[in-house]
Chain A
């Protein structure tokens, strides 16, 4: 397997494995995650040789080739650098998290999601196909949702996770649309094709759409103004998550996207306006807001927003030099921000609080952490000899470059933002580590374990080394990334620390000096510690707007739903039937000018039968409201006529099935009727039904009659139309030679359409189990809970006694004698099913009727004493048998469910056709018996529960369970 695929696949495999480890295996989890991340880093490093040569590595995995859609993994210099960044910082975060997570936290979930997230992020970075990129993009949204909401017992974590997901996933949808349009413009979804088609895209009419939608995706992901509000809320995540998500990954995905598509989309006025505008606003607003945060991580969150704004602005400027600075700052920001988050986590971990107002003087207790945090914060502020300074200088130089000598707005805003960033960095360091030692901290702080500090040390060292000798360290790798993005447009740029006395240096000095000054002034005149709200900007609360929008949308949807739908079943059914009626009638009457022209040759006996059925159906609809039992009897008449019709039209299989279903349904409804309260007619109550009610009922009656009549008409039209070519011929032809059976219906069920049947019986089993599960929680309505009037029995009455010596002696004897007969018929129907009318389904129904009859005679207790019925065993073994029969075909190298029909010659019996479909049918039989019996008996057991007589029988539920019997209540 190609290493590129492996880099993406490895974290996902690790994620699956991590989820399976026990909850307290902190060390194992850390080892696993550590080796996965390190493995990705090593795999990436191994590609350096090829990538450095200027090659673009590509691996194509076939996905949906018929749509021209394949998984393409693609690595150029930029993707290589990002992969390395993600996996190395991922490794450090894993190491840090090992010490950060408390033993009480369920770590498998943490590491599992972290690795999945990393896999998604690497997928974004290495995608060589637009659709695939969006797929991984949404995966990062999803997994980051899981990570932010990791402590899901906390309301703020849940809310923050939901907000982050709503914002980023919505952006992801926009991105999807944008990518589809982009792919359509270019004519290919292959990233390599898109990257060389910049001119075509920019000149295309759809360019603005692409730009807007892609910008929406990138700006939401990178928390750019006005979508920045989700990022501070995401701070409810565990700190390792924040360190990972908000330094090298998640938010960087947006920036990554903008850099990736820079050659295609950048360079127009609209690009500068949208991307640059959003970046500039975010840069200044984020930095300003960061000054006034009291939460340590909140401050870092807003500073992250601001720095991302800086990168976005650089990209928005649109010159190649600015793009270089953007790529450089992306890396720099990742290193110092990850270390700062980790430092904040250590402080939180050691002191028990993240509130800047409470903290102070920690330098005495944690000298090493203090030093590390100071260096990282200095890098964030842009102090010389640290990496942040370099990219910030490049940024300042660019703002001057593009503004010319007349327009001072952009450089001024840049300096102002730099100034703010100095102020908040200073506040961070000063309030946490200096000043008087804090009292009443929840915990007494001390230095963390060495390996918890190690990731920070490594990152700070990187900041320092890159800051001092950039050309020797990051230089070649950065150049590699820059060339792979900009290609021929790569400008001359210099990474040296000293450029002489020039304007950018002056801006840096002004920002540093001004920042310190601002902090001092603020301390004097407007102590930030005492402020509850951010001055000036507190009115612009993105979160509140977000929630208002969400509420409005939800409310609107609710109102629309209220208008358009009803919770009541009857109106829903009415509309359903009416629409179906019209939709069904229109096409079927096409070509029929006069109904009298339809063929009318009818057997008088058949016509009379249909008259009876029709009258029964209409009368049932009429009686259904107040006389349920009468309606049930009438429906029984209709069902019988349907059965006769099937027999008449030579469909004996259908007739048999219809008959069995009819009987089982009648019993089922009768079982349910017991629990429905009696309905009294208005005249029984001595009142008059209102005119409205009567109109409504007449209308419903009319609709019901029309619906039934429509179905009958439809059937009639289909039957009387000439069908010269139909699929039936195919089945009739192939049933015997290829299916090995003369009963075409059965061969269709178990062979031609075997897979459908398999799905159907699976559904049947699921339904039966669901009915059983629901009925265990069934609580009857108060008015139907008491026993019926007929049951004022003498002491010691049981149904079985009544059937053996009491009033039901004769019917009882008859019904018990019926059981073996029905069983024989059932087996007979089953055995001949493949060649004659019958089959597993009918046989199963007949068998279950045989069992139900015994329940009706003797009552549940008597039957279950004599005959342990285990419907769940019937269901599961039936399904298993059908499955194994299907799988058996694989053993011989045929597709699933291929039938084989051998004709072995047995002694005495002679030649016996023994198709494998027979075994499949046996599975169907077993499952149908189990499902039918389970549903009916579960209903029947409700009466036992209402009697509460199971205790009397001496068969406690525990004993039942020991015998393996099913628990009914």
Chain B
């Protein structure tokens, strides 16, 4: 049976996710519209979730998955609130 070390794969994933995050950061900084920034933030949240999953695999620790789960669930709430704010002018009508 052949054993393949997944460490290089994980490093590669980490680099890709980091790059994605950086690109999203540029959008977050430059805009130009508020909608761009909201999407960029959401993108960063998703990247962060993925980053934690990769970390969990790297360190073999399942606790990272819990945090990733919560990011997946709650990360969108902030984006939704901002979207609602942009769409309607107030979050709770």
Interface residues of A (CB under 8 A from B): 605, 608-609, 612, 615-616, 619, 629-630, 632-634, 636-637, 640, 643-644, 647-648, 652, 655-656, 659-660, 662-663, 666-667, 670-671, 673-674, 787-791, 799, 811, 815, 818, 821-822, 825, 836-837, 846, 849, 852-853, 855-856, 859-860, 936-937, 939-941, 943-944, 947
Complex Cα gap A637–B47 (Å): 11
20 contacts between A and B (CB under 8 A): A612-B25, A616-B28, A633-B37, A634-B37, A637-B28, A644-B51, A644-B52, A647-B52, A655-B67, A662-B78, A667-B91, A673-B85, A674-B90, A811-B83, A849-B74, A856-B81, A859-B93, A940-B91, A943-B90, A943-B92
Residues 62-91 of chain B: 1 if any A CB is under 8 Å from the residue's CB, otherwise 0? 011011011101110110111111111111
Which chain B positions have C-beta within 8 A of A860?
Answer: 92-93
Given that A615-B29, A837-B66 are contacting pairs, would A791 and B85 also be in contact in the complex, using a CB cutoff of 8 Å? no
Which chain A positions have C-beta within 8 A of B74?
Answer: 659-660, 663, 846, 849
Min Cβ gap B70→A in Å is: 6
Complex Cα gap A640–B40 (Å): 13
Decide if A674 touches B91 in the complex (CB within 8 Å).
yes
Given that A663-B74, A663-B78, A849-B77 are contacting pairs, would A630 and B92 also be in contact in the complex, using a CB cutoff of 8 Å? no
Question: In this assembly, does B57 line the interface, its C-beta being within 8 Å of a C-beta of chain A?
Answer: no
Min Cβ gap B39→A in Å is: 10
Which chain A positions have C-beta within 8 A of B38?
Answer: 633
Which chain A positions have C-beta within 8 A of B85?
Answer: 629, 670, 673-674
Residues 18-49 of chain B: 1 if any A CB is under 8 Å from the residue's CB, otherwise 0? 10011001001101001001101100110010
Which chain B positions have C-beta within 8 A of A633?
Answer: 28, 34, 37-38, 40-41, 82
- Which B residue sits closest to A838, measured CB to CB? B66
Which chain A positions have C-beta within 8 A of B86?
Answer: 629, 790
Complex Cα gap A818–B70 (Å): 12
Which chain B positions have C-beta within 8 A of A821?
Answer: 73
Min Cβ gap A431→B in Å is: 76
Min Cβ gap A22→B in Å is: 47
Which chain B positions have C-beta within 8 A of A939?
Answer: 92
Decide if B84 touches A856 in the complex (CB within 8 Å).
yes
Decide if A671 touches B91 in the complex (CB within 8 Å).
yes
Secondary structure type dominating chain A contacts = helix
Decide if B22 touches A612 in the complex (CB within 8 Å).
yes
Which chain B positions have C-beta within 8 A of A648?
Answer: 55
Min Cβ gap B93→A in Å is: 4
Given that A674-B89, A787-B89, A788-B89 are contacting pairs, would A659 and B67 also be in contact in the complex, using a CB cutoff of 8 Å? yes
Decide if B55 touches A647 in the complex (CB within 8 Å).
yes
Give the number of chain B interface residues (Cβ < 8 Å): 46
Complex Cα gap A789–B70 (Å): 34
Interface residues of B (CB under 8 A from A): 14-15, 18, 21-22, 25, 28-29, 31, 34, 37-38, 40-41, 44-45, 48, 51-52, 55, 63-64, 66-67, 69-71, 73-75, 77-78, 80-93
- Which B residue sits closest to A632, measured CB to CB? B82
Which chain B positions have C-beta within 8 A of A659?
Answer: 67, 70-71, 74-75
Min Cβ gap A577→B in Å is: 24
Decide if A825 touches B45 in the complex (CB within 8 Å).
no
Which chain A positions have C-beta within 8 A of B70?
Answer: 656, 659-660, 825, 846
Which chain A positions have C-beta within 8 A of B89?
Answer: 674, 787-791
Decide if A636 touches B92 in the complex (CB within 8 Å).
no
Complex Cα gap A612–B28 (Å): 11
Which chain A positions have C-beta within 8 A of B45?
Answer: 640
- Which B residue sits closest to A854, measured CB to CB? B92
Which chain A positions have C-beta within 8 A of B88?
Answer: 788, 790-791, 799
Complex Cα gap A896–B17 (Å): 50
Which chain B positions have C-beta within 8 A of A673?
Answer: 85
Given that A633-B37, A846-B74, A860-B92 are contacting pairs, would A811 and B28 also be in contact in the complex, using a CB cutoff of 8 Å? no
The 8 A-B pairs of least Cβ separation, nearest first, read A788-B89, A940-B92, A859-B93, A666-B78, A633-B37, A674-B90, A799-B93, A790-B89
Which chain A positions have C-beta within 8 A of B15?
Answer: 605
Complex Cα gap A939–B91 (Å): 10
Complex Cα gap A655–B38 (Å): 22
Q: Apart from A608-B22, A636-B41, A652-B64, list 14 A-B contacts with CB within 8 A.
A: A629-B34, A643-B67, A647-B52, A647-B55, A652-B67, A656-B66, A667-B81, A670-B82, A671-B92, A822-B73, A825-B73, A837-B66, A852-B77, A859-B93
Among A634, A788, A940, the residue within 8 A (CB) of B28 is A634
Decide if B91 touches A670 in the complex (CB within 8 Å).
yes
Complex Cα gap A608–B63 (Å): 22
Min Cβ gap B38→A in Å is: 6
Min Cβ gap B42→A in Å is: 10
Which chain B positions have C-beta within 8 A of A825?
Answer: 69-70, 73
Decide if A790 touches B66 in the complex (CB within 8 Å).
no
Given that A825-B69, A849-B74, A943-B90 are contacting pairs, would A608 and B82 also be in contact in the complex, using a CB cutoff of 8 Å? no
- Which B residue sits closest to A863, measured CB to CB? B92
Decide if A859 touches B48 in the complex (CB within 8 Å).
no
- Which A residue sits closest to B85, measured CB to CB? A670
Which chain B positions have C-beta within 8 A of A815?
Answer: 80
Most interface-central of B45, B63, B86, B88 (chain A CB within 10 A): B88
Complex Cα gap A245–B93 (Å): 63
Decide if B91 touches A663 in the complex (CB within 8 Å).
no
Given that A647-B64, A666-B81 are contacting pairs, would A616 and B25 also be in contact in the complex, using a CB cutoff of 8 Å? yes
Given that A671-B92, A790-B87, A855-B92 are contacting pairs, would A636 and B29 also be in contact in the complex, using a CB cutoff of 8 Å? no
Given that A605-B18, A822-B73 are contacting pairs, would A811 and B80 also be in contact in the complex, using a CB cutoff of 8 Å? yes
Complex Cα gap A789–B86 (Å): 10
Decide if B44 touches A667 in the complex (CB within 8 Å).
no
Which chain A positions have C-beta within 8 A of B55?
Answer: 647-648
Which chain A positions have C-beta within 8 A of B52?
Answer: 644, 647
Decide if A637 touches B41 in the complex (CB within 8 Å).
yes
Among B29, B48, B80, the residue within 8 A (CB) of A619 is B29
Min Cβ gap A797→B in Å is: 10
Decide if B29 touches A667 in the complex (CB within 8 Å).
no
